[in-house]
Copies of this chain bind each other. A is one copy, B any other.
Amino acid sequence: MRLNHRLILALDVTDPKRAVELAGRVRPHVDGVKVGWPLVLAGGLDVLRTLSKTDYVLCDFKIADIPNTNRLIVEQAVDAGASGIICHGFVGEDSVRACVDAARGADVFVLVEMSHPGGLEYSAKYAEDLARVAARVNAAGIIAPATRPERVRALRAIIGRKQILAPGVGAQGGKASEAIAAGADAVIVGRAIYEAVNPAEAAKAIVGEIRSIVSR
B-contacting residues of A (Cβ < 8 Å)?
12, 14, 36-38, 40-42, 44-45, 61-62, 64-67, 69, 72-73, 76-77, 88-96, 114-123, 126, 129-130
Enumerate 6 A-B pairs (CB-CB under 8 Å) in ascending A order: A36-B65, A37-B65, A90-B90, A91-B114, A93-B121, A122-B129
Q: Hey, which chain B residues are within 8 Å of A73, CB to CB?
A: 37-38, 41
> Within the assembled complex, what's the spacing in Å between the Cα atoms of A123 and B123?
8
Find A118's partner among B95, B114, B120 (CB 8 Å cutoff).
B95
> Within the assembled complex, what's the spacing in Å between the Cα atoms of A89 and B88?
13
Most B Cβ at <10 Å: residue of A12, A61, A88, A122 = A122
Q: Hey, which chain B residues are within 8 Å of A62, CB to CB?
A: 64-65
Using CB atoms, name the residue of chain B closest to A116.
Answer: B66
Q: Hey, which chain B residues are within 8 Å of A64, CB to CB?
A: 62, 64, 88
Chain B nearest CB: distance from A129 CB in Å?
7
Additional 16 contacts, C-beta under 8 A, given A64-B64, A64-B88: A37-B61, A38-B73, A40-B41, A41-B45, A41-B73, A41-B76, A66-B114, A67-B116, A90-B122, A91-B116, A91-B119, A92-B117, A92-B123, A93-B118, A95-B116, A95-B118
Most B Cβ at <10 Å: residue of A89, A92, A94, A118 = A118
Chain B nearest CB: distance from A91 CB in Å?
6
Q: Hey, which chain B residues are within 8 Å of A129, CB to CB?
A: 122
Q: Hey, which chain B residues are within 8 Å of A130, CB to CB?
A: 122
Q: Hey, which chain B residues are within 8 Å of A36, CB to CB?
A: 65, 69
Most B Cβ at <10 Å: residue of A37, A93, A117 = A37
Using CB atoms, name the residue of chain B closest to A37.
Answer: B73
Q: Hey, which chain B residues are within 8 Å of A117, CB to CB?
A: 92, 94
Q: Decide: B123 and A72 in contact? CB cutoff 8 A.
A: no
Q: Hey, which chain B residues are within 8 Å of A123, CB to CB?
A: 90-92, 122-123
